[in-house]
């Protein structure tokens, strides 16, 4: 379901959105939608972070042409990477093992977010300061 329009294109603004646009109507999502539609001359790149893919089955907003890239990260997918953990780590009584599990999951998620932000920064920098 991840729509990735031109992931290497330079955009003016990168939005990091947690559990909102384009999957949830109202509140912050309405504000984001109005901002994007109200500035058609400005290009956007979006990183959507959600808990579970099942919680966001369909987009509630049409993606405007000035949104050049959308990437989606789901926390549950990060946790699923550790499905092959040994049983002693899955035991709720093993607090130390659970701590390691969550630190590893958080580290993986942080890496994904930072990688995306780096792509946004580098595409902007290359557009602003082209090699001569």
Q: CA–CA separation, 82 vs 102, rounded Å? A: 10
Q: CA–CA separation, 67 vs 129, rounded Å? A: 22
Q: CA–CA separation, 97 vs 72, rounded Å? A: 28
> For the CA atoms of 90, 96, 102, 104, what is the dihedral angle to 10 degrees?
-100
Name the pLDDT band for 1 (thresholds 50, 70, 90). Answer: very low
123: left (phi over 0), alpha (psi -120 to 50) or beta: alpha
Mean pLDDT within 18-23: 95
Q: Give the model confidence (pLDDT) of 85-117 as tens digits.
A: 555 555 556 667 667 766 777 777 777 788 877
pLDDT for 15: 92
pLDDT for 114: 80
Predicted TM-score (pTM) of this structure: 0.66
- Domain borders along the chain are 13-128
Mean pLDDT within 68-95: 68
Cis-peptide into 22, omega within 30 deg: yes
């Amino acid at each position: 379901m991840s729509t990735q329009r031109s992931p290497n294109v330079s955009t003016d603004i990168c939005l990091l959105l947690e559990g909102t646009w384009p999957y949830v109507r109202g509140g912050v999502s309405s504000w984001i939608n109005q901002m994007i539609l109200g500035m058609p001359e400005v290009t956007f790149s979006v990183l959507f972070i959600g808990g579970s893919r099942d919680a966001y089955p369909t987009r509630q907003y049409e993606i405007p042409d000035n949104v050049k890239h959308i990437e989606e990260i789901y926390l549950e997918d990060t946790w699923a990477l550790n499905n092959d953990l040994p049983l002693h780590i899955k035991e709720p009584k093993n607090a130390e093992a659970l701590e390691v599990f969550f630190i590893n999951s958080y580290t993986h998620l942080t890496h994904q977010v930072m990688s995306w932000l780096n792509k946004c920064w580098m595409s902007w920098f290359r557009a602003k300061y082209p090699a001569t």
